[in-house]
Structure 1
């Protein structure tokens, strides 16, 4: 990516988990901005009974779907022989290019990746093929929406839903509390969200400052950018305007934000 000064001197808050924040940090820095990494969400790998069961079913799977790098990392952490035991005919679907890159590192290739990097986009792709009576593994966090597993079941598939990791609020909330104060005081220029939980966790942790936080973000002095319409929904419910890119990636979100910020100068 060509470097620019599109974010020159602007402080951009990044609320995604720390292990996923680096690409956003680099984009903000490359464009003259100041990245402020304050995760409102932590990912915790978890060897649940359902994940271990999915591992035992590897040889019987027709499909396995990965909706995040975290689901991949957890599966291979606790089932290190998963690839060797996987049904040779099993096909693999991923939700987007970042998950695909991690998948490739584990020596697996993608058979399906939607143009729309959402559960709805994946379902649209599966509607093009016959998955009736097919056994599909879906490792993920149980806090994720039910759109994908329910949609697959409605198409006649048997879905093995496995809890691969937990999405939790940060154990140390001090940075988030400081971010909340910075938003209320107008000390940042923009805040970014990459999942509904990054939004809802922030407002839950705001406690008795929640209403002030909402009002300050409604004023639109601080720009709010989201990765896509699913992340936008909880903000819409609070009456907070946000911008979203046409393509649901962190890079596209930040480029859209940069364009909007240029238009305000």
Structure 2
């Protein structure tokens, strides 16, 4: 627990540094492109357009409870893509940026946080696009939108905990990045991002009901609850406690693992 507290203190103390590193990295990458930082907006918009053509025009996707399918799907994709990018890119950030941190006076633990900051624009556009589409179907801003102050911090904490843990594993076992990509390919279809698993009769009801134990599904559905005003977070009962305990466990394990190998990262690399 002590290591987890130390990790949190480092993120708070050096958050401004993490933001500056993210801005520098984004600017450096953008200078290599003709459209520069415009791609931060164009890329998520193009992704939404492609999925609109595939699932909205060609496949005529449906969503549970008669919800607008494209808004339902775009919100799910925005939350899932954010977690995927934060975890996969953050897991590589320590190994890729270790030489930089060794020369500067800030802890290497802020590198996953720096990576996370860079994906907030994409997250805002994709989830925001889903909210706008939902409004066209009559789901206007409501008091349920206040739940953003509950789910967004949980999204950040969970994503960073996973990112820190995966970054430590990748330092010791570089091949882990391949397994991580396979895991996220499965989660794309196993976490209710694009398809409502309840529509598949082959899947047992017990498994479907137990989905809320899956942190990815929990967060995705939480943001959908914000948009469509389906229920409050306290209506999920013990699933809230389950998510918090899982996230706290991941944070403690990730922080402990990171602190143990921090002084030996150069040896592994």
TM tier, shorter chain? under 0.3
TM-score normalised by L of structure 2: 0.25
TM-score normalised by L of structure 1: 0.25
Select the structure with the greater relative contact order (CA < 8 A; seq sep ≥ 6).
2
Greater strand share, 1 or 2?
Answer: 1
Greater helix share, 1 or 2?
Answer: 2
